[in-house]
Amino acid sequence: MGASMGFPWPVMRSDQSSERAAAGAKRSNPESLLVVTADISATPLSFPSSPSPVTSSTGGGVESSALPLWEYSGDELAAATGRYDGARRRLGQGQTGAVFRGTLLGHDGVAVDVAVKRFHDILSEEKMRLVCRDLRARRFLQDRNVVRLHGYGFCVRYRKLHLVYDYMPHGSLSQHLFAGAGSSAAILSWDRRSKIIAGAARGLHHFHSHGAVHGCVTASNILIDNDFTARLGDFGYSWSRRFRRRCTSPAPTGDIVRMSSETDVLCFGAVVLEVVSGRRSDLDDSGGGDGDRRRFRSLVEWVWALHEAGRILEAADATLGIAAGDDGGCGGGRRRDAVEAKKMLLVGLACSHPDPKQRPKIRDVVEILKSDGVQPPKVPPSKPKYQER
């Protein structure tokens, strides 16, 4: 691949990337740390990054180091994934692309398991040039609650982009949250659910604090670490046409909305409600459901109705056994879980406010979730009506 195929840029192989990145760092302006903005029209990709090797604080005393992105050749990625062996290597497939498990050399020269995302979109020559130029200028800012992006590659023959992430052996949140009968997925206790929600909020704050938007915060894009820490993944492809169609508002209308930090918060709110209730946003309960819930087109509408009736805790997953814990009829531990679940349901509704300007900032959500002493956000007694101007 590369110049020999007639494309107007040289291919930086993975064994050359560190040298190229070091040279680029010397030329970069140390005062210009970020090249990503929430205005995705200005850049083909969107993830927290820097053009120079910096250490950046993300809040709470946690620091993120910036690493260069490696460019892998098409041959390297094909070999790493067993030539995209669908039977043995495919981890999943969605509307934007397919993910395969592979093994590649990391920045330290040690072989690591990775997940290779191969996008369905066929890129024009101009788009490939833009994406390549953008990626070569980036250094990915790491964070504990974001899946690490190792690098990227192009298949010149089929004109498709590949992104290389950390491999997450426990899969996605949706695999655990919506596991069917007989599934080997681990049961999500309330403590695990609470930890996952807080971790996802911190991961999203990492994006927003560095001027980036995630663009598709869903349960399937929140991956689970070995200790059940949530890590946001499947980011960095806001240019994709399929991506724009897929990542729509969780509102019943399903209208396509412009990707922004407010949209990220809206989608995060939908995930919070899913985690607490154990139900999908579209209320597609394979096991059936009560007649009251079936009257609503979406999970958020149902929770708003329960909140208006003063029964919001009834939205909590019945398998957790905490729905009655807020009235003092349970032990201290169960009652504490009920209070926390009610707080998170209110957070979910606040993030789902129809008016984007009334939604909380994700930094405020992080503060609310990390301390019992911080009160939940003020939520209107009924769902506000909002007409977009």
Q: Fold match between 3-166 and 173-370?
A: no
| Binding-site annotation: residue ranges for ATP | 117
Per-residue pLDDT, 311: 94
Question: How confident is the model at residue 387, as a pLDDT?
Answer: 67
Is residue 35 within 8 Å of 51, Cβ to Cβ?
yes
Give the model's pLDDT for residue 285: 52
Instruction: Assign 138 a pLDDT band (cuts: 50, 70, 90).
Output: low
Residues 63-113 have pLDDT tens digits of: 456 777 888 988 999 999 999 988 889 988 777 788 999 998 766 788 889
Count other C-beta atoms under 10 Å from residue 159's C-beta: 15
**pTM of the complete model beyond 0.85:** no
Q: What is the pLDDT of residue 109?
A: 80
CB 319 within 8 A of CB 244: no
Task: Please enumerate, by residue number, every residue annotated as part of a binding site.
Answer: 117
CATH 3.40.50.170 fits 173-370, yes or no: no
- CA–CA distance, 386 with 389 (Å, rounded to integer): 9
The count of residues in the chain is 389
* Burial per residue of 124-140, b for 16 or more beta-carbon CB atoms within 10 angstroms, e otherwise: eeeebebbbebbbbbbb
Question: Do 123 and 131 contact (CB within 8 A), yes or no?
Answer: yes
**Vertex 273, ends 267 and 277: CA angle to 5°?**
150
For residue 16, how many other CB atoms are within 10 A of its CB? 13
CB 299 within 8 A of CB 284: no
Domain ranges of the chain: 3-166, 173-370
Contact 102, 178 (CB under 8 A): no
- How distant is the alpha carbon of residue 151 from its chain centre? 18
Q: What is the pLDDT of residues 313-360, one digit of tens each?
A: 999 999 888 875 555 555 567 888 999 999 999 999 999 999 999 999
Q: Which CATH superfamily is 3-166 part of? A: Phosphorylase Kinase; domain 1 (3.30.200.20)
* pLDDT, tens only, 164-207: 999 998 888 998 898 765 555 567 899 999 999 999 999 999 99
Which H or E element spans position 19? helix 17-27
